Amino acid sequence: MYEDLRSFTKYYDERGEVKYYETQLSTNLEIAREIFYNDEGDILFFKRVKNYKLPVVANVLARRSRLLFALKSKSNAEAYTRLLEASRNPLTLREKDDAPFLECSAKDLRALPILKHFSADGGPYITSGIVVAKDVDEDIYNASFHRLQVIDPQHLVIRVVPRHLYTMMRKAWDKGKDLEIAIVLGVSPTVMIAAAASPPYGIFELEVANRILEGSLEGFRSPNGIIVPRMTEIVIQGRILRETFHNEGPFVDITGTYDIVRKQPVVEVEKVYLRENAWYEALLPSGSEHRLLMGFEREARIWDTVRRVVPRVKAVRLTKGGCGWLHCVISLKKQSEGDAKNAILAAFAAHPSLKLVIVVDEDIDVENPMEVEWALATRFQASKDLIIINNVRGSSLDPSADQETLLTSKMGIDATRSLFKSKDKFERVKP
């Protein structure tokens, strides 16, 4: 029912969760600033953009409640289950032979209101772009988020970490070919969540989204043979040029700090397809939508893995202060002494980028940093409840990790009360 961006936004508009801007704002820092100051807030709709015809929509999944709704779930646990199960049971898209984005076209990127987010950024960046590609040898597709920096109206430089798109790119290059891609912008929020997840190579993220949407996501085969969601606002058709590199960055990543400049592959834009009055979707780097999209599937994996080693996990949260990526709080019902430490080890195994895990009892709200600290103050002794693991691989995003080796130290804190001592001693008194 809400399988595209417009119907999803309309649903929230009817509930007063869309904020409209009538004032004209610029793509150069002004729109990004509004998104920054509406972190975790309403969906933002910028009707008038200086020098551009298209409106800009942002913050679509900036709030957890909207992300749960996009996963057709009422609780985090239900959403984790739905996402993990869909990743194991993808559903092929029904293809149609027309799509609204064929209504208009442009020859280059000048038609699009691409934002510059922060003043020291290397340039304007497409940040909500999902890159869809096909393996040159096999009938395997992939859809994943990549930041794309504009170098000129016909070229982008794409950050490609060594994962699935990288594999497809290398395979094409080894055969002496460019890699054909379709960059989709403005899709169903469910597609965004699936594209931000990391199912194994060979599982097509659009088919994961289609499973969650119970088969209602329609596909369209774009002119270069790549399947894209039919109800996409904008499709950029292009190719990752063989062995062609350009400086990428500086760019602010999920930590809110600047990532380093690297040589990355260049994308040549062939054609831009767009709906009449297309919406351009923006996504603020380091904002709550970025954290939720990147972190939610990891939260699901941590929940699923910890659940296998301890009897009852109440909640898992990648915290805001931990950039939605590096720090995790887990609340559980302890049955044996040692459960919390096993949970810590399981969490580190489930999400290798984790740097800190805090385990608390069920009565502590993982969303409330004050309660978590209270548990540390009253239930934690560093001499026996602290685990430190040195010289392990961590996240390349952590500026404090050794930037050459990426080695880091990890810390686990067991802030659960002892089962051997009287429970009353650790209960919080209520009026």
Which of the residues are catalytic? 253
User: Least distance in Å: CB of 159 to Mn ion?
Assistant: 16
Nearer to Mn ion, 83 or 356 (CB): 83
Q: Which stretch binds Mn ion (CB under 5 A): 39-47, 158-166, 208-216, 245-253?
A: 158-166
Stretch that binds Mn ion, among 160-168, 374-382, 390-398, 416-424 (CB under 5 A): 160-168
Angle between helices 189-196 and 205-212 (to 10 degrees): 130
Q: Which of residues 67 and 208 has its CB atom nearest to Mn ion in the complex?
A: 208
Burial class of residue 420 in the structure, from the number of CB atoms within 10 Å of its CB (0-12 exposed, 13-18 middle, 19+ buried)? exposed
**Least distance in angstroms from the C-beta of 182 to Mn ion:** 15
Q: Which is nearer to Mn ion, 131 or 148 (CB)?
A: 131
**From residue 357 to residue 386, what is the string marking binding to Mn ion with x (rule CB under 5 A)?**
------------------------------
User: Mask 268-287, x = binds Mn ion (CB under 5 A)?
Assistant: --------------------
Region from 105-113, 156-164, 174-182, 282-290 binding Mn ion, contact rule CB under 5 A: 156-164
Least distance from C-beta 200 to Mn ion, angstroms? 8
Binding mask 126-145 for Mn ion (x = CB under 5 A): ----------------x---
Q: Which is nearer to Mn ion, 63 or 164 (CB)?
A: 164
CB of 106 to Mn ion, least distance (A): 29
Q: To the nearest whole angstrom, how small is the minimum distance from the Cβ of residue 341 to Mn ion?
A: 33
108/135 with CB nearer Mn ion: 135
The burial of 290, by beta-carbon neighbours within 10 Å (0-12 exposed, 13-18 middle, 19 or more buried), is given as: buried
Closest CA to 313 of 292, 334, 288: 334
Minimum CB–partner distance for residue 37 and Mn ion (Å): 34
Question: Among all residues, whose Cβ is closest to Mn ion?
Answer: 164
CB atoms within 10 A of CB 403: 11
Tokens at 345, concatenated: 């080890």
Torsion angle (degrees, nearest 10) of CA 373, 378, 379, 382: 80
Judged by beta carbon, residue 51 or residue 92, the one nearer Mn ion is 92
Partnered with residue 389 across adjacent β-strands are 410
User: Applying CB under 5 A, which of residues 66, 146, 147, 164 lies at the interface with Mn ion?
Assistant: 164
- The verdict on 117 binding Mn ion (CB under 5 A) reads no
Binding site for Mn ion (CB under 5 A): 142, 164
